[in-house]
Amino acid sequence: MNLTVLGSGSVVSSAERATSGYLIESGPNKLLLDLGFGCFKNLQKIENPLDISAICFSHFSHPDHVADLVGFLFHRKVAVLKKMSVSNQLNLFGPAGFGEFFSNLTKAFPSFVLLPFPIKVTEIGYDKLQIFNFVVKTKPVKHSDGSAIGFRIESEGKAIMYSGDSEYCDALVDLGKEADLMVLECSSTRQKTDGHLSPEECAQIASQSNAKSLMLSHLYPETENLDLKGIVSKKFSGKIIKANDLLKVEV
Ligand SMILES: [Zn+2]
Ligand SMILES: [Zn+2]
């Protein structure tokens, strides 16, 4: 299994960092986690987006996690009209309220979102579901503005955890137990911000989870000059990775 970062930035994007998105692959199976603005462009550098048929969203209240869905859908519409090969059904997953969000999107952009191919929209209960050969486990996490979930993706005997956006909570520790790779948002760097994690809290969660490696992501521009690894290594002894767009990690 491997993970490629499509966007390592936060809602304040930069030339170097798109917002939030990840591609997880296991053999021929591909799964997207979030698709914030800038991520679809990065996806097209490494994958044919027409081969993607499942996207999971951590939350939909903030555009840095969901904004490129419209561009993704319209790209597929154009391909269908050109009679190009497209995976049959597109499966979209999100937390409670995601169905209403998608319905509102079809009203805001009808000719871009109402498409000539089947789309299945599923609101994820706080349980587990099977997507291709991925076992996807979710839990509610503590973020601002509406429902938000974190993920644990298991396949090939390995586990990747993704926090989405959240402040410290037990759910993050549970989802990350013994994970081969833990991807945590690390956006509370200047001062404590509600709904987000500081580097010290990332280290604490990774240590409590006994994760093998920790990727720090969802980075604001002001973190570029911070020694994040230095801060985190004081509390976490596993491998520490600072995310960059298009970085690919095998587990
Ligand atoms: Zn965010
Ligand atoms: Zn958010």
Q: What is the pLDDT along the chain (251 residues), one digit of tens a residue?
A: 999 999 999 999 899 999 999 999 999 999 999 999 999 999 999 999 999 999 999 999 999 999 999 999 999 999 988 988 787 789 999 999 999 999 999 999 998 888 888 999 999 986 789 999 999 999 999 998 889 999 999 999 999 999 999 999 999 999 999 999 999 999 988 777 889 999 999 999 999 999 999 999 999 998 888 999 999 999 999 999 999 999 999 99
Task: Give the ligand at the shortest distance from the Cα of 149.
Answer: 2
- The answer to whether domain 2-250 has CATH 3.60.15.10 is yes
pTM of the model: 0.96
User: What are the domain boundaries of the chain?
Assistant: 2-250
**In terms of DSSP bridges, do strands 158-162 and 181-185 run parallel, antiparallel, or are they unpaired?**
parallel
DSSP annotation of 125: P
β-partners of residue 213 are 239
58 alpha carbon to ligand 1 midpoint, in Å?
9
27 alpha carbon to ligand 2 midpoint, in Å?
30
**Could you give the CA distance from residue 138 to residue 239 in angstroms, rounded to a whole number?**
24
> Residue 73: what pLDDT?
96
The residue count for the chain: 251
C-alpha distances (whole Å) from 187 to each of 31, 76, 89, 215 are 24, 32, 35, 13
**Could you give the CA distance from residue 246 to residue 4 in angstroms, rounded to a whole number?**
6
At which residue do the structure tokens 């997207």 appear? 32
Tokens at 76, concatenated: 């597929």
> Residue 85: what pLDDT?
79
Closest-CA residue to 169 (of 129, 208, 127):
208
> Residue 127: what pLDDT?
73
Residues with Cβ–ion distance below 5 A, ligand 2:
62, 165
> Residue 84: what pLDDT?
84
